[in-house]
Amino acid sequence: MTMTYAPTTQADRYRAQCIQWMSRFEPALFVTFVFNATISSAEAQRKLEAFHMIVDRKLIGRGLLRKPERRSTYIAAIEKPETNIHIHALFKLTDKQRVVFGLIAAETWSSLAPGGSLDFQRVTYAAGAAAYITKCIRPETSERLLLPPHLEKHRS
């Protein structure tokens, strides 16, 4: 007899929907951005967005703003904003972008977050990575979910 998990609370249902959404996103990389500094959630988000812009500029070139369809994308979540703030992100990249990302990511992050660290791994099981990222996400903390600004502009 196989048992399946059925979310029972609103928070569990919300998280389960986030995991499904992130799994359908088909991420290539799981990335953790660590600051090792006291900063606000807004500043952490700005640093993630700056990192994304720098990386995409190196992946696409200076015309990246005119080519939003060629940009890499991510779904991210801020974790532990009151104590040890860090960001977990799932990045959707082409194979070529993933290779270049691996070559430039650590140096790019250290220029934005001196004393911080970056860890990235290839995603082999999207639902597992999504479950990890959403472990602290509930409806009342949904503002901690982050999408790239270029996607937000196109959704409006």
Q: What are phi and psi for residue 11, nearest 5 degrees?
A: -65, -45
Q: Domains of the chain, with CATH numbers?
A: 11-155 (3.40.1310)
What's the predicted TM-score (pTM) here? Answer: 0.88
Q: Does pLDDT of 17 surpass 70?
A: yes
1-15, 74-88, 139-153 — which is least confidently predicted?
1-15
156/141 Cα distance (integer angstroms): 22
Q: Does pLDDT of 154 surpass 50?
A: no
Q: Does pLDDT of 153 surpass 80?
A: no
Q: Does pLDDT of 36 surpass 50?
A: yes
Confidence at residue 2, expressed as pLDDT on a 0 to 100 scale: 56
Confidence at residue 32, expressed as pLDDT on a 0 to 100 scale: 98
* Whole-Å CA distances, 112 to 4, 19, 22, 129: 43, 29, 26, 25
pLDDT, average across residues 25-37: 96
Q: Does pLDDT of 156 surpass 60?
A: no
pLDDT in tens, 38-69: 999 999 999 999 999 999 999 888 777 787 78
Q: Which residue would you say has higher pLDDT here, 1 or 124?
A: 124
Give the 3-state DSSP-derived string for the chain, with helices as H, strands as E and coil as C.
Answer: CCCCCCCCCHHHHHHHHHHHHHHHCCCCEEEEEECCCCCCHHHHHHHHHHHHHHHHHHHHCHHHHHCHHHCCEEEEEEECCCCCCEEEEEEECCHHHHHHHHHHHHHHHHHHCCCCEEEEEECCCHHHHHHHHCCCCCHHHHHHEECCHHHHHHHC
pLDDT in tens, 80-115: 999 999 999 999 999 999 999 999 999 999 999 999
Residue with tokens 């939003």: 68
Give the 3-state DSSP-derived string for 115-131, with helices as H, strands as E and coil as C.
Answer: CCEEEEEECCCHHHHHH
Cβ-contact 55, 41 below 8 angstroms: no
